[in-house]
Structure 1
Amino acid sequence: MKAGQDEIIRKIKDKAKELGLEACNWVPASSLNEEKTHFESWISGGMHGEMGYMERNTDKRLNPELLVEGAKTILVVLQNYFPEKTQDDKEAPVISKYAYGTDYHFVLKDKLRKLLQFIQNEINPCEGRPFVDSAPVLERAWAKKAGLGWIGKNSNLISVEHGSFFFIGELIIDIELPYDEFGLVRNHCGNCTKCVDACPTKAIVAERVVDARLCISYQTIELRGELDKNLGGQFENRIFGCDICQDVCPWNLKSVPHSEPGFEPHPKLLQLKKEDWNTMEKPLFNELFKNSAVKRTGFKGLQRNLKFLGNG
């Protein structure tokens, strides 16, 4: 590799680090032919539940050139969200760690825009578009291709260095970049089945296959209408998302607290006691979750979830 190419790689990775990203690597934009069968089988099995958007734009999920005209390179980044502290009251209803602070879509997309601007100004003029879990991109597949980890039995990307408490973001651009030399990360799960065994609703139905209809995260966030009564009493006090399969993963012993100010929780949030959640009214909900991912389910959705716990 030429010295100039080494310099480009170093500059981009240094900028990603400056932005507070845990990792950044990139690969040529190409079709995800290997992932096609797995994804289509998951959809045809109905495991996406009511997430109709997963059925749409399958071609775009598999071919990045349909998302960004002339796509040449996909940069993949990781953003740590592991908190320093969790909820004080162990009897209180639990929300996923990723939802403690500002909605990650805003935080990570802003960083990707800055990274794009840096590439445009300091490396080479180009056109591009950032993606953060809000467009038809198979982010874990691209992260795996970029050598950032392997897909665990719970279908999450797991990093040797960072565990799995991170968000994945992509930047698709229309120029080629010199590529760092890396190999694909081999699967390190081995015979471990801790995530499979710990899932209270048995949503991990096969290796790397999660039936969303059984997943607590899907039930408490994505599902509209009534929750599945057959899962009553199995949510282990979760009311928004679920970290159980990550909490038990040995690789997350490597997790260290993030340093992203945007992910710091509202001062009152972690102090809420069980009765505070059960008597919460909308003004407090709006105060706590003004810019949070919890707004996805809304106040009524949170009430529904709390009621379901009471009926379990």
Structure 2
Amino acid sequence: MNLSTQTTFIKTLSRELGFDYCGIARAQRLDDDARKLEQWLTKGYQGKMGYMENHFDMRVDPTLLVPGAKSVVTLLLNYYPEEQQAEGAPKIAKYAYGTDYHLVIREKMNEFLYRIREKIGQVEGRGFVDSAPVLERSWAVRSGLGWVGKNGNLIHKQTGSFFFIATLIIDLELEYDDPFAKDYCGSCTRCLDACPTGAIVDPTLIDGSRCISYLTIELKDELIAPEFRDKMEGWMFGCDICQDVCPWNRFARPHQQDAFAPIPLLLNLGTAEWEAMDEQFFRTLLKNSPMKRSKWKGIQRNIRFLENPGKI
């Protein structure tokens, strides 16, 4: 197979596996991103996410993850839901309504690599979705899939930002897409203006330690700092504020993935039900949910903080 045929096969296969968009970039060290990442870490914007400091070289050089890597294939999978939570319920980020995306996408990526080898021959590669030190958004931009908005999210011009990003690094040479060269945010500042905790320090510069998603998921402290009192706006797990206010998400359309259908009961549970939930029921209800990341103890902490900010 020549480069064109191989590339067409890869992109056709991505659609067969349910991905919405596929872009391909040449595997190379990301020197500019390395400098930006180093500055971000120096400012302490990772908060207590110590893992962000690990494997720095791997984050910026795909050949350290896959020796001999030639191509980085970036895949977008829509998760925008048709359903909404009951009014007044503790808020859950839309990506967490259904089955854990790690489980869903990992299966797709395994199938992707298997099908490539079946058609093309022995190809070495690895698929990633939040599972290794990969700068997914940078590769998405280099693959022509969109630009990084002021809220730090990848924005696709046709359908917004409610996407999971998966990355396949392979030692197969392909035809490469042109990088996405333009920023279409313009003078809009809706996400900066709407963020209640001031986590968007400057356009595309996010203080992760102030993000509501960090505070409700990544932060494992028993207390959420009192400075965030009355700034959580009802969010119990994650936060969608900066995406909900983004004008580009008026183009978002409901996903077609059965696995992302809301877990029964999840959208209708109120504060009282979450407070009364014991750990065993939590584990049963959310056994395949990304909400497991916060654990029962974390969800209980978050609920208490919403009800009585600054105290446990």
TM over 0.5: yes
CA distance in 2, matches of 1:244, 1:103: 21
Q: Which residue of 1 aligns with 2:188?
A: 192
Q: Which residue of 1 aligns with 2:69?
A: 71
> Following TM superposition, by how much is the alpha carbon of 1:113 offset from its aligned partner in structure 2, in angstroms?
1.4
Q: Which residue of 2 aligns with 1:221?
A: 217
User: For the Cα contact (< 8 Å) 1:31–1:62, is it kept in 2?
Assistant: yes
| Pairing of 1:229-308 with structure 2 (within 5 A) | 229-308=226-305
Q: Which residue of 2 aligns with 1:17?
A: 15
Once the two structures are aligned, what percentage of the paired residues are identical?
48
Deviations 1:166-218 (A, max 9, x none): 01010111121233x43424100000000000101111001101101110000
User: For the Cα contact (< 8 Å) 1:92–1:277, is it kept in 2?
Assistant: no
CA distance in 1, matches of 2:38, 2:195: 24
Deviations 1:252-289 (A, max 9, x none): 01111111111112121112233222322223312321
Amino acid at match of 1:92: A
1:123 has 2:136 as partner: no
Alignment size in residue pairs: 308
CA distance in 1, matches of 2:122, 2:210: 46
User: For the Cα contact (< 8 Å) 2:142–2:178, is it kept in 1?
Assistant: no
CA distance in 2, matches of 1:185, 1:21: 23
- TM-score, normalising length from structure 2? 0.95
CA distance in 1, matches of 2:217, 2:181: 31
| Pairing of 1:65-104 with structure 2 (within 5 A) | 65-88=63-86, 90-104=87-101
User: For the Cα contact (< 8 Å) 1:71–1:172, is it kept in 2?
Assistant: yes
Q: Is the partner of 1:170 in helix, strand or coil? A: strand
> Following TM superposition, by how much is the alpha carbon of 1:305 offset from its aligned partner in structure 2, in angstroms?
0.5
271-280 or 151-160: which moved more? 271-280
Amino acid at match of 2:237: F
> Following TM superposition, by how much is the alpha carbon of 1:15 offset from its aligned partner in structure 2, in angstroms?
1.2
Q: Which residue of 2 aligns with 1:142?
A: 139
> Following TM superposition, by how much is the alpha carbon of 1:73 offset from its aligned partner in structure 2, in angstroms?
0.9
User: For the Cα contact (< 8 Å) 1:82–1:255, is it kept in 2?
Assistant: yes
Amino acid at match of 1:102: T
Q: Is the partner of 1:297 in helix, strand or coil? A: helix
User: For the Cα contact (< 8 Å) 1:148–1:185, is it kept in 2?
Assistant: no
Amino acid at match of 1:221: I
Deviations 1:22-47 (A, max 9, x none): 10111111000111221111000001
CA distance in 1, matches of 2:78, 2:181: 19
Deviations 1:45-80 (A, max 9, x none): 001000111111111101111111111111100011
Q: Which residue of 1 aligns with 2:59?
A: 61
CA distance in 2, matches of 1:229, 1:274: 21
Q: Which residue of 2 aligns with 1:47?
A: 45
Amino acid at match of 2:274: W
Deviations 1:86-108 (A, max 9, x none): 112x1110111111111111111
User: Structure 1, unaligned stretches of length 5 or more?
Assistant: none
User: Structure 2, unaligned stretches of length 5 or more?
Assistant: none
CA distance in 2, matches of 1:275, 1:56: 40
Q: Is the partner of 2:165 in helix, strand or coil? A: strand
- TM-score, normalising length from structure 1? 0.95
Which of residues 33, 36, 39 is equivalent to 2:34? 36
Amino acid at match of 1:98: Y
